[in-house]
Amino acid sequence: MADMRLVLRHLLFIACAIVWTGYAHAQAQPDVPPDEPAPAVLVADDIEVTRDRRLVARGNVEAFQGTTRLSAQAIEYNPDTGALTITGPIVLDDGAGIVILASQAELSQDLQDGLLTGARLVLNDQLQLASVQMNRVGGRYTQLYKTAVTSCRICENDPSPPLWQIRAKRVVHDREARQLYFDGAQLRIRNTPILYLPRLRLPDPTLDRATGFLIPEIRSNSRLGTGLRVPYFIKIGDHRDLTLTPYVTGDTRTLEFRYRQAFKRGRIIIQGAYSDDDLQPDDTRGYLFAAGEFALNRGFVLEFDLESVSDDAYLNDYGFFGKDRLDSTIQLSRTRRDEFIRLSYINFKSLRDDEDDDLLPSDVVDALYERRFHPSVIGGEIRLSAEAHAHERQSNVNFDADGDGVVDGRDVLRFNVEAGWLRTFQFGGLQMQTELGIAGDVIRVSDDATFDDGDSGLAPKAGITLRYPLVKRGDNGVRQFIEPIAQFAWTGGDGLDVPNDESTRVEFDEGNLLSLSRFPAPDRRERGWAFAYGGTWARLDPDGWSASLTVAQVLRQDAQPDFNDTSGLSGTASDFLLAGQLEFDGGLAVSGRTLFNDSFDVSKAEVRGDWSNASLDISGSYIWISEDPAIELPSPIGEFTFDGSYKIDRFWTASANWRYDLEEGRAATAGAGIAYSNECVRVGLSVNRSFADSTTLEPSTSLGLTVSLRGFSVNTGDRVETRSCGKQAK
């Protein structure tokens, strides 16, 4: 009986020791106190106690505790020395991304110290470290001697070396800091040494953020020369970091930077660059962008986006952004179910060589308040809104200096209030939507000798919209929808005698077809009677394709003088709006929209298409706008864009992009790239050409080469193709 108690005591001790490893902290279970390890389970084909009191477990030995699992062929415990002798093959998996494989092991009873031979350490199913001998020290450090490190798949029957590997005399893995330290590291490509480093530190793939170098890039630019970009990431804390990226060529010395910080109720990001180059040898160049968002009390949100650049050509020369206008914004807003508040300030700066910042409304202040109610007495919904807007030009010239109808220094201040009642009635299949309201406008103009100080007025309005949706269901599961629409609208009052500073670009589409005013800003409104009519047809096929088509037109009593020709709304009869969409189950989708008159003269047209499947991802667009001197468009605009990628096989992907100016008869931008990616490496080569030619922008060609060794970063979750050993991987 005493021997039986002794066996059980040793068995329980061994089970706890096996699972209490330095590679897995004991996790508190819901019904287990946090300071005690979770219950352990030991399973083996045979367990015995020898005459010298040694406990031996043989045959398919497995120990479990929480997510930790240890398997071996045999385990022997010596109570005199407290040592464990483990016979392999040994597999120790902590369930948190760290796996140890070995053939033999001599470990302490708590598995914190000891020696493993023929050992291999696998981190996060990505990086494997094979060594002749492995030592564990204090449960935190693992030392590997004569080590080969790689994330490439190694086949047992394939004698060829991996695509890349790091050979080192010694590698130390710090489990707590999650870092790898190399002594005498040698980077090899197909077993050919190409780089030697006496000391090297790299994060293991289980670490989210660590100070160190990121993926370098070789970049060649026809204007800046060829150089190397080497980002260096600095972890300042758990919620802050800084990335510094030097970029040096024969023609430029540039330092890029990015600072990020997360707060309890918000975040900020600051990025920029500082350059000393030969393009402007007498000037230092750079840019600074800052953005942030903070949640304030009472549901308010503060957002800001600040943008500044040293000169108009800097962003284009270095390929940072495709902006030709900068907009610095600070905004305070609150959104609730029945209320919206916004207060914003915007500063514009143009990078176009044909625009003068002093003549643009560069400073804009806007305040908006909207509220809605649902009265039970009259039903429907009541909407109230109030807006204050001001924009200012830096110029003080109060007359038309250029003779183009625009006063150089004009400043505008306006106030707009609106009240409206909306309600929907249902008469069988007929739906009627009613809207009654009134708007008040006050506009003040300064630094403009061609207009008085401003004007004000009231605009009562009313509208009735009728819809009659019809549905047809076929025997084969096809469903078709037809919905005719008609709207009668009226807006009273006289138009204000103020300049058109905000509603110069008017769009006519499905979104504003039933609006009582289609101007983008309330500095002017449609007046008089108007009748909008049209219809929508849609078809849904169970085979996986669908189609829709919308046709509409607006008729009015009086022409609106502020609608330009390309808006499609000029005259008493608007252009016809035709919009459609077609989608197929195979990933192809095409949509288009056009405006044309009764003579089939087109003022605007656009077509967009996408095709996506397992191997192909293509998108393209075509846009055409006719000439319109009223909006400073002396000649038509036509443009075709293309962007796509093709997966050649499991590892190779080709991509291309192209933007072509149809009116100029030349490309604006073009680019192509090819990338190879597998489980252990990603190589990308790209070339981009900009054909811009102006006083501030010149054509340029850029080449980029990036090489990334997988295994030293966190798994992003993207699918990575793994090479197979003799058989095709699925």
Instruction: Assess contact for 508 and 550: CB atoms under 8 A.
Output: no
Asked if residue 10 belongs to a domain, the reply is yes
Query: What are the tens digits of pLDDT across the range 320-366?
Result: 887 889 999 999 999 999 999 999 999 999 998 888 888 889 999 99
**E strands along 249-354, which residues?**
252-263, 266-277, 285-295, 301-309, 325-336, 339-350
Asked if residue 79 belongs to a domain, the reply is yes
Query: What are the tens digits of pLDDT across the range 161-195?
Result: 888 999 999 999 998 888 899 999 999 998 899 98
Asked if residue 31 belongs to a domain, the reply is yes
In angstroms, rounded to a whole number, what is the distance separating the alpha carbons of residues 121 and 144? 9
The β-bridge partners of 443 are 414, 455
Give the per-residue pLDDT at 100.
87
Which of 64-68, 152-156, 365-369 comes out lowest in average pLDDT? 64-68
Give the per-residue pLDDT at 196.
92
pLDDT at 376 over 60: yes
In angstroms, rounded to a whole number, what is the distance separating the alpha carbons of residues 627 and 635? 5
What is the total count of domains within the chain? 2
In angstroms, rounded to a whole number, what is the distance separating the alpha carbons of residues 626 and 63? 77
Asked if residue 204 belongs to a domain, the reply is no
28 pLDDT band, cuts 50/70/90, is: very low
Query: What are the tens digits of pLDDT across the range 585-612?
Result: 888 999 999 999 988 999 999 999 999 9
Beta-carbon count within 10 A of 63 CB: 25
Sign of the alpha-carbon torsion through 20, 24, 28, 30? negative
Which of 60-74, 385-399, 552-566, 573-587 comes out lowest in average pLDDT? 60-74
The β-bridge partners of 77 are 55, 84
**Joined tokens for residue 86:** 């483990």
Question: Can you give the residue range of the structural domain that contains 91?
Answer: 2-117
Q: Among the three residues 117, 152, 176, which one is the final residue of a domain in this structure?
A: 117
Count of alpha carbons within 13 Å of 508, Cβ hemisphere only?
26
Ramachandran angles phi, psi of 413, nearest 5°: -130, 130
pLDDT at 29 over 80: no
Look at phi and psi of residue 414 and say left if phi exceeds 0, alpha if psi is from -120 to 50, else beta. Answer: beta
Give the per-residue pLDDT at 79.
82
Tell me which of 248 and 55 has the higher pLDDT. Answer: 248
Tell me which of 503 and 452 has the higher pLDDT. Answer: 503
Query: What are the tens digits of pLDDT across the range 469-486?
Result: 999 998 788 999 999 999
**Joined tokens for residue 389:** 């807007």
Q: Among the three residues 71, 91, 117, which one is the final residue of a domain in this structure?
A: 117
CA-angle at 104, arms to 101 and 108, nearest 5°: 95
**Joined tokens for residue 195:** 């780089």
Asked if residue 308 belongs to a domain, the reply is no
The mean pLDDT of 556-581, rounded to a whole number, is 93
What does pLDDT average to over the chain? 86
Tell me which of 222 and 686 has the higher pLDDT. Answer: 686
pTM, 2 dp: 0.80
The β-bridge partners of 210 are none
Give the per-residue pLDDT at 697.
66
The mean pLDDT of 520-534, rounded to a whole number, is 94
Ramachandran angles phi, psi of 15, nearest 5°: -60, -45
Query: What are the tens digits of pLDDT across the range 495-519?
Result: 888 988 899 889 999 989 999 999 9
In angstroms, rounded to a whole number, what is the distance separating the alpha carbons of residues 584 and 587? 6
Burial of 383 (0-12, 13-18, 19+ CB in 10 A): middle
Look at phi and psi of residue 396 and say left if phi exceeds 0, alpha if psi is from -120 to 50, else beta. Answer: alpha
**How many angstroms separate the Cα of 40 from the Cα of each of 12, 15, 77, 93?**
8, 6, 17, 15
pLDDT at 109 over 50: yes
Tell me which of 488 and 223 has the higher pLDDT. Answer: 488
DSSP 671: E
**How many angstroms separate the Cα of 648 from the Cα of each of 187, 392, 610, 653, 678?**
29, 54, 19, 6, 13
Asked if residue 77 belongs to a domain, the reply is yes
The mean pLDDT of 90-111, rounded to a whole number, is 81
Query: What are the tens digits of pLDDT across the range 655-668?
Result: 999 999 998 888 98
Give the per-residue pLDDT at 630.
83
Give the per-residue pLDDT at 21.
34
Q: Among the three residues 573, 607, 641, which one is the final residue of a domain in this structure?
A: 607
Tell me which of 19 and 169 has the higher pLDDT. Answer: 169
Instruction: Assess contact for 87 and 73: CB atoms under 8 A.
Output: yes
11 pLDDT band, cuts 50/70/90, is: very low
CATH number of the domain residue 54 falls in: 2.60.450
Give the per-residue pLDDT at 53.
81
Asked if residue 242 belongs to a domain, the reply is no
Burial of 15 (0-12, 13-18, 19+ CB in 10 A): buried
Asked if residue 109 belongs to a domain, the reply is yes
The β-bridge partners of 528 are 491
Give the per-residue pLDDT at 111.
64
